[in-house]
Structure 1
Amino acid sequence: MGKTQSKLTPEQLTELQNITYFDRKELQQWYRGFMNDCPPGVLDKEEFSRMYKQFFPFGDPTPLAEHVFNVFDANKNGYIDFKEFICALSVTGRGRLDEKLRWAFQLYDIDGDGTITYNEMLTIVRAIYKLTGQMVKLPPDEDTPEKRVDKIFALMDRDKNAELSFEEFKEGSKQDPSIVQALSLYDGLV
């Protein structure tokens, strides 16, 4: 679906309906908007970051946008086509909690090895803090990325091995919903 075409074929619509939480009409509307914003039919990292800046004008969204881009880019070819875009939007905006948790885990698991290290978590939390800038007042025990990650690991790292498995992440996120709340930024879009 990376090739430019004016509308989705019936086969593409059926496939996307089967793998997303969108109906045919919504898929067609999203496709028109995507093609209007991305005439080549794909988003590169730079364009994706530019779009993020529109949503977060008061902070620096670039570091987080780069990590989110990497999760959206399911086939890792350096571009987000419509199928990748709508599948990610479907999960983050309308997915079940377990799907959102899996997506969030992929965001924090930067190297994709199936675990989140302290440094990976710190990288993403720093990016989130840059994104929000001075717009969010944080409690003293979370006013730096390091304090926040220390708190997360104290809560989630049950076996104290300095990395989080998906199971630890999932259980910990149920105790601290703010871990996944970042995904709610897509709720107004879908």
Structure 2
Amino acid sequence: MGNNNSGQKLLKEDIDFLVQNTNFCKSEIKQWYKGFMRDCPEGQLSKEKFKEVYAQFFPGGNPDDFCEHVFRSFDKDHSGAIEFKEFLMAINITSQKGKAGDKLNWAFGMYDIDGNGTIEKKEMECLIGAIYNMLGNQLSKTFDDTPQQRTEMIFKKMDTNQDGVLTREEFIQGCLADTTLYQMLTADSETGQD
């Protein structure tokens, strides 16, 4: 997706691309790049480093499974590492600056594990289970159901044609119509409005 900028300055064409395709200004992009290169001097964020960073935020849980799914959704070129452009595009989508539609499209792609264009119940259960594992001892304060029960509730609300799978449209419309689902499925505290 991008160039390996190991030991290099951020290229002008990369800055221009990121200014056009994110909500970050040139100086913010340079600041993000400086931090990225400090933490990832090879110019790539490995899956192991990604998990290590995530683990710091969830000391009482196991974020490994969830990290696999998030990493997969950020690693657009399937290289096994996240380059700076992929990283900043992902930060843009998942940050407070990201638009609800972008966040929902990203979240749909993360939940659609096999990439077939729909979310099956087993995929939703897998992600919900990963979230529960990640929360660990915080879980009892947050959820009082199983991943299967939570999945059934989500499908009951979102699967409008009751065919047992969620299309991108059903997923997005369901999240936009229900603030709680939006916040849970996108890990966003905003209301889901652009």
| TM-score of the aligned structures, taking structure 1 as reference length | 0.91
Q: Of the candidates 169, 184, 188, which is equivalent to residue 184 of structure 1?
A: 188
Counterpart residue number, 1:135:
138
| Letter paired with 1:118 | K
Structure 1: 4+ residue segments shifted above 3 A: none
Shift of 1:177: 2.8
Shift of 1:158: 1.0
Cα offsets for 1:139-164 (capped at 9, x unmatched): 64xx1111100100011111111100
Shift of 1:44: 1.6
Counterpart residue number, 1:188:
none
Shift of 1:28: 0.5
**Identity, % of aligned positions:** 43
Q: Pairwise CA RMSD of aligned residues?
A: 1.5
Counterpart residue number, 2:99:
96
Alignment partners' CA distance in 2, 1:12 and 1:100: 22
Cα offsets for 1:48-68 (capped at 9, x unmatched): 111110121121111001100
Q: Determine if contact 2:46/2:82 at 8 Å carries over to the other structure.
A: yes
| Letter paired with 1:36 | R
Alignment partners' CA distance in 1, 2:99 and 2:170: 18
Which sections of structure 1, spanning at least 5 residues, go unmatched? 186-190
Other structure's SS at 1:135 match = helix
| Letter paired with 1:18 | Q
- Are residues 38 and 150 of structure 1, via their aligned partners in 2, closer, same or farther at CA, if it must alter by over 3 Å? same
Alignment partners' CA distance in 2, 1:80 and 1:144: 32
Shift of 1:138: 4.2
Q: Name the count of aligned residue pairs.
A: 183
Cα offsets for 1:15-65 (capped at 9, x unmatched): 111111100111001001001111110012111111110121121111001
Alignment partners' CA distance in 2, 1:103 and 1:180: 12
Q: In the alignment, is residue 41 of structure 1 matched against residue 52 of structure 2?
A: no
Shift of 1:88: 0.7
Alignment partners' CA distance in 1, 2:4 and 2:173: 37
Which sections of structure 2, spanning at least 5 residues, go unmatched? 190-194
| TM-score of the aligned structures, taking structure 2 as reference length | 0.89
- Are residues 33 and 138 of structure 1, via their aligned partners in 2, closer, same or farther at CA, if it must alter by over 3 Å? closer
Counterpart residue number, 1:105:
108
- 1:102-181, aligned counterparts within 5 Å? 102-136=105-139, 137-138=141-142, 140=144, 143-181=145-183
| Letter paired with 2:67 | A
Shift of 1:71: 0.4
